[in-house]
Homo-oligomer: A and B are copies of this chain.
Amino acid sequence: MAPSNRKLSERQTKMLEYITDFVKEHPYPPSVREIQLGCSISSTSVVDYNLHILRREGYIKRSPDISRGIQLLDKDTGRAMGLQTSIAVPVFGAIAAGEPLMAFPEASEAEETLELPASMLPPRTDGMYALRVKGQSMIEDLIDDGDVVLFQRRESASPGEMVAAWLKERGEATLKRYYPEGARVRLQPANSAMSPIYEDADKVEVQGVVVGVIRMYR
């Protein structure tokens, strides 16, 4: 059944609110009877009836025959909320460490994992990974030593974008701004004390573009 996009009734709104509050305060979703009590509804069948509507309208997802099998969805994106909201972003070692990034890194292979809320991230969250920055080559772009930089995996970049680049011949990964210049590529640090790297275009492999920076002071 397709969503009718009808406005929710007062009762349905209250139920949705109750479920939202409930999962914030408990480590498990509410049962039908808890919703019944919490919303002063006289019968479980009424709860079930309205849960069907909430499901049809895309507000929740239900796992049949499973107790507490109610899952909140984001009405707009359809993305699961609650437990599933946070997305595991693998954090790899230092960007200058000299190891190429695996083609399809598994979060479990990473030395560390960063659980970020989906709301913080762009719509596309697959192929997202993070690197801990070593050195101050991007200091003038406000990226410091020790910062965690979020990347979106991509194999090409627009001129001027900040990228993680793999230098095939040197066996080295680096964080720089990307400027294609004919047959070669200029990798520009954001540090006036440092010089750009020039490399043949076919010896440079873009591994991702910067989408965010996170810095925590200790």
Chain copies in complex: 2
Instruction: Select A116's contact among B117, B144, B212, beta carbons within 8 Å.
Output: B117
Check if A203 is an interface residue, CB within 8 A of chain B: no
User: A126-180: which have CB < 8 Å to B?
Assistant: 139, 142-144, 150
List the B residue with the shortest CB-CB distance to A31: B67
Q: Which of A40-48, A50-58, A76-84, A96-104 is the interface stretch?
A: A76-84
Nearest-CB distance from A108 to chain B (Å)? 11
Q: Please tell me if the beta carbons of B27 and A83 are within 8 angstroms of each other in the complex.
A: yes
Cα A213 to Cα B114 with chains together (Å): 15
Nearest-CB distance from A119 to chain B (Å)? 6
Cα A215 to Cα B138 with chains together (Å): 15
Q: Please tell me if the beta carbons of A27 and B29 are within 8 angstroms of each other in the complex.
A: yes
**Which residues in B have their C-beta under 8 angstroms from that of A214?**
120, 212-215
Instruction: Select A119's contact among B26, B63, B85, B115, beta carbons within 8 Å.
Output: B115
Interface size of A by CB at 8 A reads 41
Binary interface profile of A, 190-216, with partner B (CB < 8 Å = 1, else 0)? 000000000000000000001111111
Cα A60 to Cα B24 with chains together (Å): 18
Cα A137 to Cα B84 with chains together (Å): 38
Check if A36 is an interface residue, CB within 8 A of chain B: no
Nearest-CB distance from A49 to chain B (Å)? 22
List the B residue with the shortest CB-CB distance to A210: B217
Check if A23 is an interface residue, CB within 8 A of chain B: yes
Q: Please tell me if the beta carbons of B211 and A212 are within 8 angstroms of each other in the complex.
A: no
Check if A69 is an interface residue, CB within 8 A of chain B: yes
7 contacts between A and B (CB under 8 A): A23-B83, A26-B83, A27-B84, A28-B71, A28-B83, A214-B214, A214-B215
Chain A residues proximal to chain B, CB less than 8 Å: 23-24, 26-29, 31, 61, 63, 66-72, 80, 82-86, 114-117, 119-120, 139, 142-144, 150, 210-217
Q: Across the A-B interface, give the 4 residue pairs with the lowest CB-CB distance, nearest first.
A: A27-B71, A115-B117, A67-B67, A212-B216
